[in-house]
Amino acid sequence: MATLANLSPVDPLLADLAACRDLSVALVTPLSDADATVQSMPDASPAKWHLAHTTWFLETFVLRDHVPGYTAFDASFAYLFNSYYEAEGARHSRTARGLVTRPALDRILVWRAHVDAAIAAAAPMLGADARTLIALGIHHEQQHQELLQTDILHLFAQNPTAPAVWDHPRDTPAAMPGPIRWVEGRSGIVQIGHAGPGFAFDCEGPRHDVLLHPHALADRTITNSEWLRFIADGGYDRPDHWLSDGWAWVRAESIVAPLHWRRVGDGWHAFALDGLHPLRPAAPVTHISYYEADAYARWAGMRLPTEPEWESAAAAHDPLGGNQLDAAGPVRPRAAPAGAGCRALFGDVWEWTGSAYLPYPGFRTAPGAVGEYNGKFMSGQSVLKGGSCATPRGHLRASYRNFFYPHQRWQFTGLRLAKDL
């Protein structure tokens, strides 16, 4: 019988699909069925739902649409595990995903294996359009692998006993990085956006000209130690550094520190996938909102980089480098490595930019349900760049555009400062 594994040696695309699908299953291995079912907040989804939705994506857009005679594994799953594709019809409410106790986790895993086997069996007859959708399905699942980890983290953080998802030996504290050094960026007309071979999401193009004014970027991201100084100086108590909406959010939600920080005795601890631990002073600050990132930048007398400034700086850097996800296990941001120029542009923490998530000149959504993937979310959100410690290695590009609403912070989000010259 054909499987993704035994077809992988002769088909690089199927090799990538097999590796991606295996990693998703490995990420849920420590979880019980209860762990995988619960939803901790409306922005998060159960681990079981992530496994199911990514499988529904492949079953729907590859098998149903490109394999004649394919019959869905379970017709009810289309209603349960569609996310936001209006063209695919009615779906279960996002806020009630954690109430779906059936199908159980083991049933979802059986479905995943069924879909993988069906793709493997159909592989010789799949044309270019179907293979393009498989590539999209891989990158779609990689996005959900990161969401899966941060959603599990948020869920376990609600448990007062602070259980670790993965046990991991405590690391040796890293040396504090030196003071920020400034790296002058390119100015004048430059091009950004994806062009040429290789996968990219539709929102990353078309490639186009932008005008950059003289500016500089910090050589590294802001650390936990530096954020502690912001807190000590009344950063969360004074409105003068905050956007109006941000200050309203701070007051309404009683925000006093980044998400997952906890006061323990006289010091701060942070909850992570390896449990509760004393704050690592040299590590990049993470789990901060756009509002917090912007307030810190104003407090520091600086600003956030624009998306074109960041992308221009990152164009010469290897997107495969840095601290990214390579295998299942606890992930956490690490202190910036030594070196010259901008460091750790890829990995560790997603970096907030000062740019709104809007279409590039000439952007057009694709026809059909797949066209709903990115374009309809271009409203009220800000762009983040660079990936994180939870981003699967191989998923990133300088042109990659992540986007979240300004109050959201359950992802591995941090900041790098910029200034005008």
pLDDT above 80 (res 372): no
Rounded CA-CA distance 319/396 in Å is: 6
Residue 1 is predicted with a pLDDT of 54
Q: For residue 144, name the pLDDT band (cuts at 50, 70, 90).
A: very high
Average pLDDT of span 85-108 = 94
More confidently predicted of 125 and 374: 125
Could you say which DSSP state residue 203 is in? Answer: G
Question: In 3D, which of 7, 310, 258, 305 has the Cα closest to residue 153?
Answer: 258
Q: Is the pLDDT of residue 161 over 70?
A: yes
C-beta of residue 161 within 8 angstroms of C-beta of residue 271: no
pLDDT of residue 290: 98
Are 144 and 24 in contact, with CB atoms under 8 Å apart? yes
Given a cut of 70, whether residue 142 has pLDDT beyond it is yes
pLDDT score recorded for residue 376:
87
Amino acid making up residue 390: A
pLDDT tier at 5, thresholds 50, 70, 90: confident
Provide the phi-psi class of 287: left if phi over 0, else alpha when psi is between -120 and 50, else beta.
Answer: left
Q: Is the pLDDT of residue 3 over 70?
A: no
Q: What is the overall mean pLDDT for the chain?
A: 94
Instruction: Identify the pLDDT of residue 251.
Output: 98
% of the chain beyond a pLDDT of 70: 97
Spatial CA neighbour of 114 closest among 54, 28, 55: 55
Q: How far apart are CA 414 and CA 288, in angstroms?
A: 6
- Give the Cα separation of 258 and 412 in Å (integer): 11
Q: Write down the pLDDT at residue 373.
A: 76
pLDDT in tens, 378-411: 999 999 999 999 999 999 999 999 999 999 999 9
Residues 390 and 274: beta-carbon distance below 8 Å: no
Q: What is the pLDDT at residue 367?
A: 75
Tokens read off for 45: 């989804």
pLDDT of 175 reads: 81
Overall average pLDDT of the 177-192 stretch: 95
Q: Would you state the pLDDT for residue 421?
A: 97
**pLDDT score, position 339:** 85
Q: How many CB atoms sit inside 10 A of residue 59's CB? A: 26
Q: pLDDT (tens digit, 9 = 90+) per residue, 9-38?
A: 778 999 999 999 999 999 999 999 999 999
The C-alpha atoms of residue 187 and residue 141 are separated, in whole angstroms, by 36
Three-class DSSP labels, the chain: CCCHHHHHHHCHHHHHHHHHHHHHHHHHCCCCHHHHHCCCCCCCCCHHHHHHHHHHHHHHHHHHHHCCCCCCCCCCHHHHHCCCCHHHCCCCCHHHHHHCCCCCHHHHHHHHHHHHHHHHHHHHHCCHHHHHHHHHHHHHHHHHHHHHHHHHHHHHHCCCCCCCCCCCCCCCCCCCCCCCCEEECCCEEEEECCCCCCCCCHHHCCCEEEEECCEEEECCCCEHHHHHHHHHCCCCCCHHHCCHHHHHHHHHHCCCCCCCEEEECCEEEEEECCEEEECCCCCECCCCCHHHHHHHHHHCCCECCCHHHHHHHHCCCCCCCCCCECCCCCCCCCCCCCCCCCCCCCCCCEEEEEEECCCCCCCCCCCCHHHHCCHHHCCCCEEEECCCCCCECCCCCCCCCEEECCCCCCCCEECCCEEEC
Inform me whether the pLDDT recorded for 128 exceeds 60. yes
Max Cα-Cα span within the chain:
66
Which residues, other chains included, contact 177 with Cβ-Cβ below 8 Å and sequence gap of 6+? 220, 223, 282, 335, 336
What tokens were used for 151?
A: 């959603």
Of residues 341 and 174, more confidence is placed in: 341
pTM of the model: 0.96
Q: Confidence band (pLDDT; 50, 70, 90) for 170? A: low
* Helix-, strand-, coil-residue percentages of the chain, each rounded to 5: 40, 15, 50
Determine which of 218-232, 263-277, 328-342 has the lowest per-residue pLDDT on average. Answer: 328-342
At 178 the pLDDT is 86
Average pLDDT over residues 348-376: 87
